[in-house]
Structure formats: C-alpha cells, structure tokens
C-alpha cells in the first residue's frame, strides 16, 4: 500500500501548520515557485495547496498578484469572534447533554499535552490551544459542526497572529480545565458562561495590542505624513 497522500496534500498540511503556529505571519507573500522550491516540487503542487488554503480562508489569492497569508481586518475579527461564540455555544450545549467518560479522558489528555508544549515553549502550543476547541466540536459527533468550528478557529488564530501581542499563550489552559469540569458536571449554564468568558478573554488578548491594526501601508504611514518626528 503506497502513500495515498499526494504531494500537494503534504504541502497543504505543512503550510497550514506553519500559518497556525504563526511561523508564517499574516501578510507574508507566498509565491508559487518559492514554495515549490523549498518543498522540492513544482509550482503546480504548490499552487494546488494555495488554492485549498484560500478556500479555508487562511490565504488570500488575488489574480495575477499572487498569494499571501490572509490578513483579517479588525472588522472581520469582530465578526469572526461573534460567530465563533455562537458556534461554540452550540458545541457546549450539545456536549452537556451527554458526556462520555472517554470524551473527558480525551479532553484531559489534550490539556496535558498543551501544558507540556507551553512548558517547552514549543510553537505547537499555539496550535494545540486551537485544537482543544476543535476536539470539543469533534466530541459532539457532528462532522459538519466540527468542520465549521475548525474553520473559524483557524481564522481566529490568524487574528491573534495579526493583532495579539507576540508570545502570549492563545488560550488560558486554566480556563480549558474549568470548562472540562463544568462539562463533567453537566452544568450547562456554567459551561456556556465559562466558554463565553474564555472567548471574550481570547478576543481581548487580540485587542490588547493594536500594533498591526492598520490594514495597509498607506494607513500605517498616514501617521508619519509630517516630516517632523512628533
């Protein structure tokens, strides 16, 4: 049995990981042949991966102008987090109805892994924090819900990469723990309110630093119009 996974699959996965772990920051250009060169494949495979990432909203492709890591605007950020709260509330409410022992085990072991990554200052920690939320969605058993949560969590990561202060943990692990506790107790209202608070905390972390808040160079430089330095 051979690979069953094509080369563009590999590139897609690698690029995606690199973006989610903030190794590729929003706005970074992704020319087809550089990518092809670095991965040792042709532009065709690189392009295929880019198209898929564009479908995920992780990269933006403008005709004849190339691809770049997506740069969600501040307005998009608010929009995304608003919808994310809606989706994750649905996740929590579904989970509260029936929470299996295995599910709790999976969540607790995931949090342990998060903790390990944080202690090791591994870039994996950034991605794992998002994947905690995806794991929650998976445990509902709904593939659709999982897919949507995955999409929106990815885009949230992009927002944190763009607006958040660097090297800040994405999600508070303690909040993840207390959420698990509420789920274990099947305390619906408490679980929902913890999740809401958690997501608001994540969103605030994004707003805390507006260094990259301006969408384009023109807007950034508008503050430097005068030749005098303040």
Residues that bind a copy of itself (CB under 8 A): 4-6, 44, 47-48, 51-52, 55-56, 63, 76, 79-80, 82-83, 86-87, 90, 142-145, 148, 151-152, 155
Angle at 16 between CA 13 and CA 19, to 5 degrees: 150
Give the nearest distance from C-beta 114 to a copy of itself in angstroms: 26
Distances (CA, A) of 54 to 62, 170, 213: 10, 23, 22
Distances (CA, A) of 83 to 76, 176, 219, 222: 11, 20, 28, 32
Dist CA 70 CA 142 (whole Å): 28
**10 Å Cβ neighbour count for 71?**
18
Identify what 229 binds: DNA, a copy of itself, none; CB under 5 to 8 Å per kind.
none
44 sits near DNA (criterion: CB under 7 A): yes
Q: 102 vs 144, which CB is nearer to a copy of itself?
A: 144
Identify what 168 binds: DNA, a copy of itself, none; CB under 5 to 8 Å per kind.
none
63 sits near DNA (criterion: CB under 7 A): yes
SS3 60: strand
Dist CA 126 CA 12 (whole Å): 19
Q: Which residues are CB-neighbours of 27 under 8 A, at least 6 positions away? A: 68, 69, 71, 162
66 sits near DNA (criterion: CB under 7 A): yes
60 sits near DNA (criterion: CB under 7 A): no
Identify what 222 binds: a copy of itself, DNA, none; CB under 5 to 8 Å per kind.
none
4 sits near DNA (criterion: CB under 7 A): yes
Interface positions with DNA (CB under 7 A) = 2, 4, 6-8, 30-34, 36, 41-45, 47-48, 61, 63-67
């Amino acid at each position: 049995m051979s690979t069953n996974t094509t080369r563009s699959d590999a590139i897609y996965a690698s690029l995606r990981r690199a973006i989610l772990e903030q190794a590729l920051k929003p706005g970074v250009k992704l020319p087809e042949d550089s990518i092809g060169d670095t991965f040792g494949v042709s532009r065709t495979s690189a392009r295929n991966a880019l198209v898929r990432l564009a479908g995920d909203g992780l990269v933006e492709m403008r005709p004849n102008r190339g691809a770049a890591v997506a740069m969600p605007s501040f307005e998009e950020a608010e929009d995304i987090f608003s919808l994310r709260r809606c989706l994750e509330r649905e996740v929590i409410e579904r989970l509260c109805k029936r929470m299996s022992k295995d599910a709790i085990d999976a969540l607790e072991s995931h949090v342990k892994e998060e903790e390990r990554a944080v202690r090791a200052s591994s870039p994996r920690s950034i991605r794992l924090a998002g994947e905690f939320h995806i794991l929650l969605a998976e445990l509902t058993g709904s593939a659709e819900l999982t897919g949507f949560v995955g999409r929106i969590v990815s885009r949230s990561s992009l927002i944190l990469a763009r607006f958040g202060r660097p090297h800040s943990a994405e999600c508070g692990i303690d909040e993840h723990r207390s959420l698990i506790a509420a789920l274990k107790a099947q305390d619906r209202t408490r679980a929902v309110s913890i999740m809401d608070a958690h997501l608001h905390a994540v969103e605030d972390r994004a707003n805390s630093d507006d260094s990259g808040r301006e969408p384009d160079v023109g807007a950034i430089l508008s503050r430097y119009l005068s030749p005098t330095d303040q």
